[in-house]
Structure 1
Amino acid sequence: MNIFNYSDAPDDLHADFVETDNPEFSLEKTGDAVAVCAAAVFGIQALFPWQRLAIANILDAVHAVQAVEAAEVEQKEGCIDGVVTQDEDGAGDFFEEPTELYDEDGVHRGRQVVLLPTGAGKSLCFQVPALLLDKPTLIVYPLLALMADQHRRMKEAGLDPVLLRGGQSKEERESQFARLEGSAENSPAKLIIANPEILASETILSKIKQCGISHLAIDEAHCVSEWGDSFRPAYLNLSEIIKQLDPPAVTAFTATASPYVLKRISEVLFDGRAHIVRGNSDRPNLRYFVRHCRIKRPALLAEVKSRKLPMVVFCGTRARTENTAAFLIHSLHNDNIKFYHAGLERDEKDRVERWFHNHDNAILVTTCAWGMGVDKKNVRTVIHLDPSPTVEAYIQEAGRSGRDGKVSEAILLWSLDDKTGIESLPKQQRLRAEVMIKYAESGRCRREVLLEALGEEISGNSDVETTVCSGCDICNRSATQFAKDEKSILEFIKKTNRVFTQQELVSLLKNQIKNWRTTDLNLLLKKLKDEKKIISSNSIFWKQKLRVS
């Protein structure tokens, strides 16, 4: 995508008029302001219908509040035209307000949840209207990495947003406040970037309130449900922040939300009452695969060797990212591999982010701390060494690939240990994580399982044509619904019944099975022994020789 500079946009840039109910496109206009802004600033020549709808709702809500406020002022002055009339006795007759704040369904027209697939341009839905509104837009992001990435991109487009986050020095914070207020040389900032925790500061919230907010956008809003109820209670306080700032428009954006998550977002942010704008959640250019295995390192190595770069490998813990990155560097003799997690210092995070963003042959091994909303368009492969805790998280992370629209792949490495781990979770966590078991083991179209979990209608009626999967290993008949490594070892032991001890077997196979090390073989044999699938004979003739039980 070509990025244009906001300040360089020509005054006479024209776009065809599009008839709409949005006040920003009134019949007095000679062109479509939204289309002009999208083309001039962001290089986007055409917006999707769901983007147009989300933007229209935002602008409608702001203009509705402005109209009502103006009517109230004129009413107080006794001169409102068409709303209050006065007879000779000074008595007034009240008529309907010129603009209603609530739609016919009783929902505030400025409260909406927007669900768009990853890569569908959610950011445009709040950046474009921000440039058309008089007062700034406040955007709440969940991760510092995402804040830094979006701040960089906005500055490249000439938007120069205010950035408010923890760890800023007094001088940095004062500089941002100055941008918020504007100066003789620079108009006040149109965009403010923050996270939920920084908005807990009364000083910062007061500064923001003083300048007034037209629109409050909450990006990656599924975090309200996933994190607000556990380790980030600041997300639950967003409802109080909304009430204090009282902006005309509030929009929660996410790429993934199951009915449960959607309900929770609506409850926390909007007291259960919000409009829903939903685009198609499917990403047709993504190909979904599951590799069943018992030992993951050899499986990971095989996948990394056979898939396209750039690549992201998601791990469940910080330690696992570091160990996995070291393992891949050693095994592949490749220095274009780095790890990333929330425990890194800020400068180190910035260096890794810049390195990966500008590198076309890189492998990034990371936790969920990287990736949410980060826009590296040409990631070709995402591999999950560990399953995500929810289907929403998995779709978000898998969706880091193919944001340029080109065919890309998402591979989940799945083992019996993953299933056991999910089944041992507390009930509420288990119920949400169990979708990953269905995704890996049901034998149904991978894409269908994901979309169904998000509440998409999947037809079970044979008379209704269902959408043909554009790519998964189930539908292209390449899936193997069992762990090949386990099956191969069991077949070998069965064939060589009581010929080898564990040590002898490992010594024989370690140089014959590609990508496997001594530790991998010993680990697999230990698992099979613990599960009573193989046993070591105790007889005097077959001492310690392995056989299938």
Structure 2
Amino acid sequence: MSDSALDLLRRIFGHTGFRGEQAQIVEHVRAGGDALVLMPTGGGKSLCYQLPALLRAGCGIVVSPLIALMQDQVEGLRQLGVRAAFLNSTLDAADAAEVERQLLAGELDLLYVAPERLLTGRFLSLLERAHAGAGIALFAIDEAHCVSQWGHDFRPEYRQLTVLHERWPDVPRIALTATADAPTRREIVERLALEDARQFVSSFDRPNLRYRIMHKDGGGLRQLLDFLAGHRGESGIVYAFSRKRVEAVAEQLQAAGVRALPYHAGMDAAARAGNQRRFLQEDGVVMVATIAFGMGIDKPDVRFVAHVDLPKSIEGYYQETGRAGRDGEPAEAWLSYGLGDVVNLRQLIQQGEAGEERKRLELRKLDALLGYCETTQCRRQALLGWFGETHPGACGNCDNCLDPPRSWDGTEAARKALSCVYRTGQRFGAGHVIDVLRGVDSDKVRQWGHERLSTWGIGRDLDERQWRSVFRQLVAAGLLEADVEHHGALRLTASSGPVLRGERTLRFRSEPAPPPRGRKGRTGAGAAAGAFELSPEARIRFDALREWRAATAREQNVPAYVIFHDSTLRAIAEHAPDDLDELARIPGIGAGKLDRYGEAVLQRLFDAA
């Protein structure tokens, strides 16, 4: 690594060294090479194009899919003293014209633009003039997985970005993403014409994330509240299946005293933007959202991501959980799900407008996610395996490792369940079939005469919760499927035959007993790891610094984390520097921020002493 790159890293970004393959990527792109970078969220992807743009002549052009994302990144760079700007629909004509003038005059280091704007004839003409004048340092294509039609964030405009290579073959390109399985990776290479690009594939592992998955009890609200009790005062995201569900969960959390806000595409645009602004700028806000609240969430101190409904795929789950703990500090990914979630998602897929090939792919991905939820192996090992990465297991930071699930011989229970589904006509959901198995004398059972079936009452040895676990695991194993055209009726698959004939045995994971109602306790990964423990004196300094940061952020109308990350404030609080030289040695404090905030930070430390 050249001295100039390392010097910039220290002087501007306040870091003493590179992480992982950052150094190799920076040098490769700086030398004019194309690159495809796969790096997990929080791994430092932005530095991989920001530093080469500063080291090369001209302005780096960054293709970014969301307005919120580019605005936050630009503001963060300006805080560091980097000459950055964006062009998007939030600018009026005069401001946009000023940014264009700066580009042509060579007064910008980085310019962020949406793919839709970049592909207009007017902007391409602007790039021609810039390239002929001050020059273009590089093209960075962020969130490159958007190019894949099989992905969860497909943006058709991304497929036209090959125009950059066609018109300016001498300008290096770097495509970056945190979420891409092997097929998506191949499609990125093909669609962006990156066959000759060097690929840098980092581990997908996020060791600071703790994964917890549980079966939904009722609507899951009590379980969610118990989980949130361990994250009081912390920022987090709660993902829900639908707009209606988002509104209901947000209202219930508010009633329970949680600072929760809703976010979904059906809200008034101003209200939605206002809620996102509060989440980004304030501490301790919980955003309840659909996946519309997705890319562009650059907030580093999100301490948890909770799913109260099943996501659509492992890729979606990985990307959404990846929004927790971007600062590298311990965070938690929590999920509750039930068989009803599977029925809802299957219905959504099968009734959608996509072609049959796409529907089959989405159903396979849903089945894979359900299998991941039901696995007894290390969650991290199973999750990374989906992305083609091996992990030895026993990570020590997931529910299956911390509290290994017990299993039991479920062969006989499975035969009873499958037989009962068949004898009731394969036209009922799990609830009714369980009533027949347990011998429940209900109106519906008598209406259909199912009390006369041979399977009536043969499952009294298991309670309703245990039977629901059996049916859920039979669906996950591909022995039963939900017929969405008949309200989620369960029906046998071809794979059920060997079990019914006694030719195959099954083992099921035991369903843990639900915790006592009202039990409270810190379950967050941060507390478990002891990551945020400060001495009483350091805690006073840390709280004082957070108050100062919040006030400063409000004055500038920017998210608090673009001033300083929590990790930087904790380091300041722990070391209590006496002067600017000592403060400059704290990780995360470059020359720009030292000049801008150094005296104010030292004064706040003095006042808190």
TM-score after normalising by structure 1: 0.68
Match of 1:201 in 2: 120
Which structure's relative contact order is higher, taking Cα pairs within 8 Å and 6+ residues apart?
Answer: 2
SS where residue 238 of structure 2 aligns? strand
Partner Cα distance (2:406, 2:91) in 1:
51
TM-superposition CA deviations, 1:105-135 (whole Å, max 9, x none): xxxxx22211112111111111111111111
Deviation at 1:357, TM superposition (A): 2.6
Q: Work out which of the residue numbers 89, 109, 113 in structure 2 matches 1:190.
A: 109
Match of 2:241 in 1: 316
Match of 2:185 in 1: 262
Q: Contact 2:34 / 2:174 at 8 angstroms: preserved in 1?
A: yes
Match of 1:474 in 2: 400
Partner Cα distance (1:347, 1:155) in 2:
26
TM-superposition CA deviations, 1:221-272 (whole Å, max 9, x none): 1222157898631121112343234352111111121111111111111254
Match of 2:377 in 1: 444
Match of 1:433 in 2: 366
Match of 1:377 in 2: 300
Match of 1:325 in 2: 250
Partner Cα distance (1:537, 1:346) in 2:
48
Partner Cα distance (1:228, 1:322) in 2:
27
Residue identity opposite 2:326 in structure 1: R
Partner Cα distance (1:230, 1:254) in 2:
12
User: 2:29 matched to 1:58?
Assistant: yes
TM-superposition CA deviations, 1:311-355 (whole Å, max 9, x none): 21112344432332122212x134x21122345566545533332
SS where residue 211 of structure 2 aligns? strand
Deviation at 1:479, TM superposition (A): 5.1
Deviation at 1:423, TM superposition (A): 5.1
SS where residue 222 of structure 1 aligns? helix
Match of 1:491 in 2: none
Partner Cα distance (2:206, 2:69) in 1:
21
Q: Work out which of the residue numbers 30, 45, 48 in structure 2 matches 1:125.
A: 48
Residue identity opposite 2:401 in structure 1: C
Q: Work out which of the residue numbers 51, 60, 66 in structure 2 matches 1:137.
A: 60
Partner Cα distance (1:166, 1:227) in 2:
28
Partner Cα distance (2:165, 2:266) in 1:
31
What are the equivalent positions in structure 2 for 1:54-453 lying under 5 Å apart? Answer: 54-61=25-32, 110-166=33-89, 168-182=91-105, 187-212=106-131, 213-225=136-148, 232-270=155-193, 272-293=195-216, 295-298=218-221, 299-308=223-232, 309-330=234-255, 332-334=256-258, 336-343=259-266, 347-372=270-295, 374-421=297-344, 425=349, 426-453=359-386
Partner Cα distance (2:250, 2:398) in 1:
27
Gaps of 5+ in 1: 1-19, 26-31, 62-109, 459-465, 483-524
Residue identity opposite 2:402 in structure 1: N
Match of 1:101 in 2: none
Match of 2:594 in 1: none
Q: Contact 1:215 / 1:249 at 8 angstroms: preserved in 2?
A: yes
User: 2:23 matched to 1:40?
Assistant: no
Deviation at 1:537, TM superposition (A): 3.4
Deviation at 1:137, TM superposition (A): 0.9
4+ long deviations beyond 4 Å = 226-231, 342-350, 421-424, 478-482, 530-536, 546-549
Partner Cα distance (1:57, 1:118) in 2:
21
Partner Cα distance (1:218, 1:269) in 2:
10
Residue identity opposite 1:537 in structure 2: S
Q: Could you say if the C-alpha distance between residues 354 and 158 of structure 1 is closer, same or farther in structure 2, counting changes exceeding 3 Å?
A: farther
Partner Cα distance (2:266, 2:125) in 1:
31
Residue identity opposite 2:374 in structure 1: E
Partner Cα distance (1:145, 1:300) in 2:
28
User: 2:359 matched to 1:454?
Assistant: no
Partner Cα distance (1:156, 1:352) in 2:
24
Deviation at 1:51, TM superposition (A): 0.5
Partner Cα distance (1:422, 1:481) in 2:
27
Match of 2:412 in 1: none
Partner Cα distance (2:108, 2:201) in 1:
30
Partner Cα distance (1:288, 1:270) in 2:
36
Residue identity opposite 2:215 in structure 1: H
Amino-acid identity (%): 31
Q: Could you say if the C-alpha distance between residues 342 and 152 of structure 1 is closer, same or farther in structure 2, counting changes exceeding 3 Å?
A: farther
Q: Could you say if the C-alpha distance between residues 226 and 469 of structure 1 is closer, same or farther in structure 2, counting changes exceeding 3 Å?
A: farther
Q: Contact 1:422 / 1:434 at 8 angstroms: preserved in 2?
A: no
Residue identity opposite 2:239 in structure 1: F
Residue identity opposite 1:475 in structure 2: C
Q: Contact 1:314 / 1:366 at 8 angstroms: preserved in 2?
A: yes
Deviation at 1:369, TM superposition (A): 3.4
Residue identity opposite 1:37 in structure 2: L
Partner Cα distance (2:17, 2:371) in 1:
38
TM-superposition CA deviations, 1:464-494 (whole Å, max 9, x none): xx25413111111255899xxxxxxxxxxxx
Partner Cα distance (1:287, 1:120) in 2:
17
TM-superposition CA deviations, 1:200-227 (whole Å, max 9, x none): 2110121123212221111121222157
Q: Could you say if the C-alpha distance between residues 390 and 138 of structure 1 is closer, same or farther in structure 2, counting changes exceeding 3 Å?
A: farther
Q: Which has the higher helix share?
A: 2
Deviation at 1:167, TM superposition (A): 5.2
Match of 2:569 in 1: none
Q: Contact 1:220 / 1:373 at 8 angstroms: preserved in 2?
A: no
TM-superposition CA deviations, 1:161-211 (whole Å, max 9, x none): 2312235432232122122123xxxx5211111121122211012112321
TM-superposition CA deviations, 1:396-435 (whole Å, max 9, x none): 2111112222221101112112333555641122233333
Q: Could you say if the C-alpha distance between residues 538 and 323 of structure 1 is closer, same or farther in structure 2, counting changes exceeding 3 Å?
A: closer
Q: Could you say if the C-alpha distance between residues 350 and 156 of structure 1 is closer, same or farther in structure 2, counting changes exceeding 3 Å?
A: farther
The range that moved more, 295-304 or 118-127, is: 295-304
Partner Cα distance (1:439, 1:409) in 2:
17
TM-superposition CA deviations, 1:268-297 (whole Å, max 9, x none): 112544321022221111110111125334
Corresponding pairs, count: 416
Q: Could you say if the C-alpha distance between residues 443 and 146 of structure 1 is closer, same or farther in structure 2, counting changes exceeding 3 Å?
A: same
Q: Could you say if the C-alpha distance between residues 318 and 261 of structure 1 is closer, same or farther in structure 2, counting changes exceeding 3 Å?
A: same
Deviation at 1:366, TM superposition (A): 1.9
Q: Could you say if the C-alpha distance between residues 201 and 41 of structure 1 is closer, same or farther in structure 2, counting changes exceeding 3 Å?
A: same
Deviation at 1:394, TM superposition (A): 1.6
Match of 2:432 in 1: 529
Q: Could you say if the C-alpha distance between residues 342 and 55 of structure 1 is closer, same or farther in structure 2, counting changes exceeding 3 Å?
A: farther
Partner Cα distance (1:242, 1:343) in 2:
38
RMSD: 3.3
Deviation at 1:386, TM superposition (A): 2.8
Q: Could you say if the C-alpha distance between residues 230 and 380 of structure 1 is closer, same or farther in structure 2, counting changes exceeding 3 Å?
A: closer
Q: Contact 2:378 / 2:394 at 8 angstroms: preserved in 1?
A: no
Match of 1:7 in 2: none
Partner Cα distance (2:183, 2:159) in 1:
16
SS where residue 332 of structure 2 aligns? strand
Residue identity opposite 1:448 in structure 2: Q
TM-superposition CA deviations, 1:77-117 (whole Å, max 9, x none): xxxxxxxxxxxxxxxxxxxxxxxxxxxxxxxxx22211112
Q: Contact 1:313 / 1:382 at 8 angstroms: preserved in 2?
A: yes
Q: Contact 2:378 / 2:393 at 8 angstroms: preserved in 1?
A: no
